[in-house]
Structure 1
Amino acid sequence: MKKKLIALAAAGALAAPVVASAQGTNVTIFGRVQAEYSLVDFASQPSQGSLQDNSRSSRWGLHITEDLGNGLRANARLEMGLNAGSGSATTPREQWVGLSSNQWGDIKFGRVQSPFKDFAGGMTIDPFAYTTLQANGAGGTMSAGANGMGSGANGFVNSALRYDSASIEGFSFSGLLMPGDANTLDPLQTGSVLASFQPGGLGSQGNTGGRNGEFDGQAAAKYHVDFAGMGLDIFGGYSRDNANNLQRTIGLKTEEIWRVGGAWTWENFKLSGQYENINNALGSATCTTAAALVANPLDAAGSGTGQCNSAMNWGGDGNIWFAGAQYKWGNTTLVAQGGMTKAHAGGVNGSAARKADSFTVGAIHNLSKRTSVFGGYQHVYVSNANNTADDNNLGSAANGVSYAAPSYATGSRATYTVGIRHNF
């Protein structure tokens, strides 16, 4: 009996600080676990299959809120990603603190997602986001820049301020500002000279601009209206990633992206589309690791299943478009979508033009509100991969640095996948 009382007392002593710190604060544990078996078949190469979560959909985290009164709330989010098939659990995701109000909207400070990812188009119109069938990156129909400013899976922006307005008569606005003009902001967080050339955030790091990147930013707006049993969404936005001092020495300039698109729904049907115009590519010349479906998008050719098909040539221009259709049949959603990336000839290496066309068909079946299974097929046709001589010299004009640009090797690719996902 005494041992039980001692054990209860010890447990109470340990729990007391946690309970005290939670008074007046609501803490929610959330997450997702996903695994899929994907068979990737490259032209002229052996097929490669694996069972994992290569797009890094799996994650867990804490969402924290406190009611401050008068309609004002304090919010915070701490989130980490993992790969259910490889045991990796070290990927940082959203990590921010902020304030919100039903009258004026939300403001966040810290590591956030960009409006191009979760507000205006991007992943909001891609039902296969965070799967091997995703439209961004390897899918080649949405920009997936490693600077976190695109639609790339696991793309986030460090040292940022983001504001989302309340919806007024169907109109809403979102803006992001990253004051990245500090010499200490290293996009790769490695301390290397090479990191200064990078357009930011290889894989999970997500610092746009890098050292002396000045003020990077993004703005987007959208409008929603319901009429005659139909729903219409129209959105547009502008993104700016300033070249840092070292990037300018090799001819790179400020990247600018314009995006426009929309979605139309009627009963069980949904049609959506998006167009992006890219100038002076920095982040848009890369992919996040999860969007390229590899551990390192700079070595996609040697890493098996990876491709950065949505990338532009370094410092070059181009455009990307996406179109998709969905039909909900009971608990099953049937999906058909595709698009094209056109990387124009030019850039700091004078690279040749490149094109990637793709289409995807598949289905998502909800077993419950939290659990779903999915599967499908994606084919990407790559014209002129130009991954070797054209793209291996960036940086040689500055401080003798040898730099290899993102690889677009292996050409056309066919992907078959089936997976399961549970949200909690």
Structure 2
Amino acid sequence: MNKKILTTAILASVAGAAHAQSSVTLYGLIDAGISYNSHVKNATGGSSSYWGYGDGVAQGSRWGLRGAEDLGGGLKAIFVLESGFNSGSGTLGQGGALFGRQAYVGLTKDTIGSLTFGRQYSFSTDFLGGNYSIGGNTVAGNYAYHFNDIDQLTSSRINNSVKFTSVNFSGLTFGGLYGFSNTTSFAGAPTTASTSSSRAYSFGANYGYGPFGLGAAYTDIRYPGAASPAFTTTIAGIGGALLDLRTFGIGGRYVAGPATVFALWTNTLLSQIGASSYLYNAYEVGGKWAFTPALSGQLGYTYSRASGLFGAHWNQIDAAVDYALSKRTDVYLLAAYQDASGTYKGQPVQAQIGDSNSSIFQPSGSGSQNQVAVRVGLRTKF
């Protein structure tokens, strides 16, 4: 009888160990609320106020599966499948792709890093967007990220990509990515961005030591209008079909007790097909303060400037209060103000808070060069 008990215990322990070597996790979040904007372009091109249901402002709503299999010797097989959706309509995000946020498989070694294949984030998103930008550090989220994610801080997802990301070497992490176009070369000079012609590469490094953090990233996307979903090349009423998008940025962060301060600069060159290029620079400073473990206040300022074909300037202030009801659920109040100045083709430059690619807001419309946005939101994670 004792032998039977011992055998059963051994088999149970072996089965438990085998189970522990592999894991699959279901995760996600939903961010929903009510949004207001003082000036939004209407059907006639003019300016109107807007009230509506808003999805995915602090963070985009998503669900996903994450898995790992222990292959022994510190080597693991990993995968991520992540789908974005709109909680108001139930429709898929990212142009309707089933796993439009992320879809990759690869290997990771605990002393070297990971090599992955699929649809993945560029290092502008990995190292800059989540660590040093106002959008990534506060519930301002997609209101604080720059027009249509022009500098690739939040939704720079590269199809058909091969990506290496190192482990942490005494505070230093680095990596590189290449995204294949999966098409033959163009014959002659193209006049439009052809379907599935977008290729990309990205590099980045991040260093953290105690309360300090410093990061830099470079991303180049050929024919960004052919990406999936397509990059909208019209930014606050400016621009045309793009041949190339090149962006570089550097950011820093410091944490002191309940306070966190951060700063970021990005430099983005937009080369148009059959036309001149123009340069976009964005400068951010921001901070947040934890009044209690549950309550925090957040404040940020961004100055943006475009040059080349025109001269245009945008000033934006973001302020928010966030209250955690639990470790998984929080409520927040967000306000943003943006003022634009300058002209393009003889017309006043428009303001634009957020990302018109995801239909958060449109430009301010003719007759207005500013926007005020207010948002009350609820976010829960699982």
Q: TM-score, normalised by structure 1?
A: 0.67
CA distance in 2, matches of 1:112, 1:219: 13
Structure 1 CA distance for aligned equivalents of residues 72 and 164 of structure 2? 20
Match of 1:272 among 258, 262, 281: 262
Query: Contact (CA 8 Å) 1:319, 1:341: kept in 2 or not?
Result: yes
Which segment drifts farther, 354-363 or 86-95?
A: 86-95
Structure (1 or 2) with the greater strand fraction = 2
Map of 1:144 onto structure 2: 149
Per-residue CA deviation, residues 313-372 of structure 1 (Å, 9 max, x unaligned), is 9731121111111111111121000111111032xxxxx222211001111111111111
Contact 2:139 2:334 in 1 (8 A): no
Q: How much has 1:89 moved relative to structure 2?
A: 3.0
- List runs of 5+ in structure 1 lacking aligned partners: 1-21, 186-192, 201-209, 284-312, 347-351, 392-406
- Residue type at the aligned position of 1:124: N
Q: C-alpha separation between the residues in 1 aligned to 2:145 and 2:21?
A: 46
Aligned residues: 319
Task: Indicate the residue corresponding to 2:221 in structure 1.
Answer: 241
User: Quick one: which amino acid aligns to residue 213 of structure 2?
Assistant: D
Judging changes above 3 Å, is the alpha-carbon distance between structure 1 residues 95 and 251 closer, same or farther for their aligned structure 2 residues? closer
Q: Which runs of 5+ in 2 are unaligned?
A: 1-18, 41-45, 95-99, 227-239, 350-361
Residue 74 of structure 2 aligns with which residue?
71
Residue 367 (str. 1) matches residue 325 (str. 2): yes
Alignment of 1:42 onto 2:49: no
Q: CA separation in 1, counterparts of 2:175 and 2:287? A: 26
Give distance in 2, aligned partners of 1:130 and 1:50.
Answer: 25
What is the aligned counterpart of 2:193 among 192, 197, 210?
197
Q: Is the 8 A contact 1:57 1:131 kept in 2?
A: no
- Residue correspondence of structure 1 range 10-409 to structure 2 within 5 A: 25-42=22-39, 45-55=47-57, 57-91=60-94, 92-118=100-126, 120-126=127-133, 128-129=135-136, 133-134=140-141, 139=144, 141=146, 144-145=149-150, 150-152=152-154, 154-180=155-181, 182-183=183-184, 196-197=192-193, 210-211=196-197, 216-226=200-210, 231-242=211-222, 254-281=244-271, 315-330=277-292, 331-346=294-309, 352-384=310-342, 386=344, 408-409=363-364
SS across alignment from 1:121: helix
Q: 1:142 to 1:251 in 2, by over 3 A?
A: closer
C-alpha spacing 1:381/1:369, structure 2 compared with 1 (3 Å): same
Give SS of 1:83's match: coil
1:420 paired residue number: 378
CA positional deviation for 1:179: 2.3
Does the Cα contact within 8 Å between 1:32 and 1:423 map onto a contact in 2?
A: yes
How big is each residue's C-alpha offset from its partner over 1:168-224, in whole Å with a ceiling of 9 and x where there is no partner? 121110211112262399xxxxxxx99x427x9xxxxxxxxx52x5x5211111111
Name the counterpart of 1:6: none
Aligned-pair identity in percent equals: 21
* Paired residue secondary structure (1:168): coil
TM-score by length of 2: 0.74
Whether the aligned pair in 2 keeps the contact of 1:31 and 1:61 (CA below 8 Å) is yes
Root mean square deviation, CA, Å: 3.4
CA distance in 2, matches of 1:173, 1:25: 27
CA contact (8 A) 2:22 2:68 kept: yes
How far apart, in 2, do the equivalents of 1:421 and 1:36 lie?
9
The residue type paired with residue 158 of structure 1 is N
